Structure 1
Amino acid sequence: MRINKVALAVTALLAASQVHAAGFQVSEHSASGLGRAFAGEAAIGDDAASLARNPALMATFDKAQLSVVGSYVTPEIDVTSTTPGLDTNDVAPAQAVPAMYYIQPINEKVAVGLAIYSNYGTGTEYPDDYAAGAIAGTTHIVSVNFNPNISYRLNEQLSVGAGVSLVYATAELERNVGYTGTLLPQDTNAATMEGDGYGFGWNVGALYEINKNNRLGISYKSKVKTELEGDYKGTSTSAASRGDTTAGALSPFVGQKTVDGTLDINLPSILEVSGYHKLTDKFAVSYSWMYTTWSDFGDIEAKGAECNDITGAGPGTCLVKKEDFNNSSRYAIGGEYYLSEAFTLRAGYALDEQAGEATLSIPDTDRHWYTAGVTYKASQALSFDFAAALVAGDEITFEEEGTSFTSSGDAYIYSAQMNYSF
Structure 2
Amino acid sequence: MAVKKARVFPLSTTATLVLSALTVSQANAAGYQIAFDSVSGLGRAYAGEAAVSDSAASMGRNPAMMTLFDRPEFSGSMIYFDAEIDVTGNSAAQSSSDIIPSQFVPASYYVHPLNDQMAVGLGLYANYGLGTDLNNEFLAGDIGGDTELFTVNINPAVAYQVNPMLSLGAGISLVYASGEVNRHYGGGADNFGAQPSDKILSWDGDDWAFGWNVGALLELDESNRFGLSYRAGIDLKLEGTFTDFSPGVAIPGGGSTTAVSNVPLPTIAEFSGFHQLNDKLAIHYSALWTQWSEYKEFSASSSDCSINGGICFLKPEKYNDSWRWAIGAMYQLNPAIKLRAGFALDEKAGETTLSIPDQDAYWYSTGMNYQLDDNWSFDFGLAYMDRSDESFAETSLFTANHDYTAKGYLLIVGAQANYRF
TM-score, normalization: structure 2? 0.91
- Identify if the C-alpha distance between structure 1 residues 261 and 241 changes in structure 2 by more than 3 Å, giving closer, same or farther: closer
Q: CA deviation at 1:135?
A: 0.4
Unaligned residue ranges in structure 2 (runs of 5+): 1-14, 396-400
TM-score, normalization: structure 1? 0.91
Give, in whole Å, the separation in 2 of the partners of 1:185 and 1:96: 33
Contact 1:167–1:226 (8 Å) recurs in 2: no
SS class of match (1:416): strand
What is aligned with 2:411? 412
Give, in whole Å, the separation in 2 of the partners of 1:8 and 1:48: 37
Q: CA deviation at 1:117?
A: 0.3
Give, in whole Å, the separation in 1 of the partners of 2:248 and 2:126: 40
Give, in whole Å, the separation in 1 of the partners of 2:37 and 2:341: 16
Encode CA deviations 1:174-221: one digit per residue, 9 max, x unaligned: 110110263432112111111211121111100011111111000000
SS class of match (1:360): coil
SS class of match (2:57): helix
Give the one of 206, 209, 229 matched to 1:199. Answer: 209
Give, in whole Å, the separation in 2 of the partners of 1:259 and 1:200: 27
- Identify if the C-alpha distance between structure 1 residues 241 and 221 changes in structure 2 by more than 3 Å, giving closer, same or farther: closer
What is aligned with 1:262? 260
The reply to whether residue 233 of structure 1 matches residue 243 of structure 2 is yes
The one-letter code of the counterpart of 1:322 is P
- Identify if the C-alpha distance between structure 1 residues 131 and 342 changes in structure 2 by more than 3 Å, giving closer, same or farther: same
What is aligned with 1:174? 182
The reply to whether residue 137 of structure 1 matches residue 145 of structure 2 is yes
Give, in whole Å, the separation in 1 of the partners of 2:162 and 2:294: 33
Give, in whole Å, the separation in 2 of the partners of 1:87 and 1:318: 27
The reply to whether residue 391 of structure 1 matches residue 399 of structure 2 is no
SS class of match (1:27): coil
Contact 1:200–1:226 (8 Å) recurs in 2: no
Give, in whole Å, the separation in 1 of the partners of 2:236 and 2:20: 18
Encode CA deviations 1:125-158: one digit per residue, 9 max, x unaligned: 1121111111011121111111110000011111
What is aligned with 2:10? none
Q: CA deviation at 1:238?
A: 2.7
Give, in whole Å, the separation in 1 of the partners of 2:418 and 2:359: 34
The reply to whether residue 285 of structure 1 matches residue 294 of structure 2 is no
- Identify if the C-alpha distance between structure 1 residues 149 and 161 changes in structure 2 by more than 3 Å, giving closer, same or farther: same
Q: CA deviation at 1:241?
A: 4.9
Contact 1:12–1:124 (8 Å) recurs in 2: no
Give, in whole Å, the separation in 2 of the partners of 1:396 and 1:380: 48
- Identify if the C-alpha distance between structure 1 residues 239 and 368 changes in structure 2 by more than 3 Å, giving closer, same or farther: closer
The runs of 4+ residues in structure 1 deviating greater than 2 Å are 181-184, 237-243
Give the one of 152, 173, 183 matched to 1:165. Answer: 173
Give the one of 370, 373, 377 matched to 2:371. Answer: 377
RMSD of aligned Cα (Å): 1.8
Encode CA deviations 1:50-104: one digit per residue, 9 max, x unaligned: 0111000001011110000111111001011124521111011101111110001
The reply to whether residue 213 of structure 1 matches residue 217 of structure 2 is no
Contact 1:395–1:406 (8 Å) recurs in 2: yes
Contact 1:294–1:326 (8 Å) recurs in 2: yes
The one-letter code of the counterpart of 1:136 is G
SS class of match (2:94): coil
Give, in whole Å, the separation in 1 of the partners of 2:282 and 2:325: 18
- Identify if the C-alpha distance between structure 1 residues 242 and 134 changes in structure 2 by more than 3 Å, giving closer, same or farther: closer
When the two structures are aligned, how many residues end up with a matched partner?
Answer: 398
Contact 1:11–1:361 (8 Å) recurs in 2: no
The reply to whether residue 56 of structure 1 matches residue 50 of structure 2 is no
Give, in whole Å, the separation in 2 of the partners of 1:175 and 1:41: 38
- Identify if the C-alpha distance between structure 1 residues 241 and 269 changes in structure 2 by more than 3 Å, giving closer, same or farther: closer
What is aligned with 2:322? 328
Contact 2:25–2:148 (8 Å) recurs in 1: no
Give, in whole Å, the separation in 2 of the partners of 1:289 and 1:207: 15
What is aligned with 1:366? 360
Give, in whole Å, the separation in 2 of the partners of 1:138 and 1:56: 39
